[in-house]
Amino acid sequence: MERESSVDITGMGIVTSIGQGVTAFKEALFSGKTQFDDLKRPGREGAKPFIGAEIPEIDVRSLLPEYSSLLRTASWSGQIATLAVSEAWQDAQLVNGNVNPERIGLVVGGSNVQQRHQQEIWQRYQSRPQFLRPTYGLTVWDTDIMGLLSQCFHVQGEGYSVGGASASGAVAIIHAARQILMGITDVSIAVGSLFDLSGYECHGLTNLGAMGSERFADRPDLACRPFDQDHDGFIYGEGCGVLVLERSDHAQQRGAVSYGKLMGWGFNLDGNRSPEPSQKGEERAMNTALAMAELKPEEISYLNTHGTSSPLGDKTEVAALKSVGLNHCLVNSTKSLTGHCLTAAGVVEAIATLLQMNHSFCHPTHNLVNPIDYTLSWVKETAIQAEIKYAISNSFAFGGINTALLIGKS
């Protein structure tokens, strides 16, 4: 439904293990490409290897020579965020300076995202801390990546970082939309930043029972299997996603292409510190998004699940979407291909939703052989053609956070 003030999505940028750039990512989604293996990046060592999906080595400074001096001391998370924002910035046609920088906002989703970078510095300087680089003092703040991006792209409107654990990307999108709807900005950039796990986080999340066990240690490609009866916990994936949100009339005035509209969202807490999900909280998020968009459940044709491969999480989400009345929707899990991108997941999966919507397909769900529920319209191990007018993308998180984004086709 068109509103007096609505929010369009006019730019996208992405870097994941299965594709750098929107075009490569779209092709990887359609083909069902995966990149699961033992984690090999320095600082992720354990007694035994952890399984995950890492981005192939990229020399970001050579790709973005104009920012080379700033990127010299930036973390891996900061470098990848700069690369993804650069793509979205160009995609949204912001390079020609036709938008007042004081009317451009920036919201970076994620907290404590530079853990591996900090661990490496501690180890390098533990015997000589007096020689610690001064820039280390910047990396301890969640605003470090925001500051880097604002300097690179001369963003001078409202900006901040938001922490919502695995829902951080979706929370960033919601806050960016609020900036626009409140009249604070004309354009707002939402970043789902790369959560750079160190070996300590890998051990902690495994001990918590959240991260996949050693069950598929000899076959990493089989480990990530959302909604399959053999699911065994989430599998980490490196990734960063960026969306440029813009007031609809502003986008039209400057001739920007719209990939879709953010029509509504739900965002709530279920009063819970532990990692256990809440069916009622998830239902409330989806129902709130539907109410905000003034749509009925039967009008939604596709649902991009949170779908982490966690047995309890998958079971709870299935129950929630059935209770909301979304049984008829085509359903898949982007995490089955990318791994769980944690703080970036909400934006990565919103981009996946937009690409499927604009190119009339639904991507496969890797390793979905024996679904935990046979009554839903799963997109299993092969992509299918699909016309998607309205879609919901879910992101849930530790701390009892539940979000749902409702996206409409332009």
Q: How far is CA 122 from CA 74, 175, 195, in A?
A: 16, 34, 18
Q: Does one domain contain both 90 and 231?
A: yes
Rg value, the chain, Cα: 20
- Check residue 45 and give its pLDDT: 81
Q: Does one domain contain both 226 and 315?
A: no
**Which residue, chain included where needed, has tokens 């092709």?**
27
Question: Residue 211: which region, alpha, beta or left (left: phi > 0; alpha: psi -120 to 50)?
Answer: beta
E strand segments, 17-123: 19-20, 37-38, 51-53, 104-109
Question: Tokens representing 338?
Answer: 């990318």
E strand segments, 165-308: 187-192, 236-237, 239-247, 260-269, 302-304
- Check residue 345 and give its pLDDT: 98
Q: Does one domain contain both 317 and 170?
A: no
Whether the CB-CB separation of 110 and 163 falls below 8 Å is answered with yes
Question: Tokens representing 315?
Answer: 């079971």
Q: Does one domain contain both 59 and 188?
A: yes
Nearest by Cα to 165 from 199, 138, 205: 205
Q: Does one domain contain both 222 and 322?
A: no
CATH for 96: 3.40.47.10
Q: Is residue 208 part of a domain?
A: yes
Q: Does one domain contain both 222 and 305?
A: no
Alpha-carbon span 129 to 282, nearest angstrom: 46
Q: Does one domain contain both 188 and 273?
A: no
- Check residue 297 and give its pLDDT: 98
- From 223, 253, 283, give the residue that closes a domain: 253
Alpha-carbon span 70 to 85, nearest angstrom: 15
- From 232, 253, 274, give the residue that closes a domain: 253
- Check residue 2 and give its pLDDT: 44
Q: Does one domain contain both 243 and 267?
A: no
The 10 Å Cβ neighbour count of residue 112 is 14
Number of folded domains in the chain?
2
Q: Does one domain contain both 203 and 320?
A: no
pLDDT in tens, the chain (410 residues): 344 469 999 999 999 999 999 999 999 999 999 999 999 999 998 768 999 999 999 999 999 999 999 999 999 999 999 999 999 999 999 998 889 999 999 999 999 999 999 989 988 999 999 999 888 888 889 999 999 999 999 999 999 999 999 999 999 999 999 999 999 999 999 999 999 999 999 999 999 999 998 899 999 999 999 999 999 999 999 999 999 999 999 999 999 999 999 999 999 999 999 889 999 999 999 999 999 999 999 999 999 999 999 999 999 999 999 999 999 999 999 999 999 999 999 999 999 999 999 999 999 999 999 999 999 999 999 999 999 999 999 999 999 999 999 999 99
E strand segments, 84-170: 104-109, 159-162
Q: Is residue 2 part of a domain?
A: no
Residues spanned by the domain of 311: 262-408
- From 253, 271, 289, give the residue that closes a domain: 253
pTM attached to this predicted model: 0.97
- Check residue 5 and give its pLDDT: 64
φ/ψ (deg, to 5) at 279: -60, -40
Q: Is residue 136 part of a domain?
A: yes
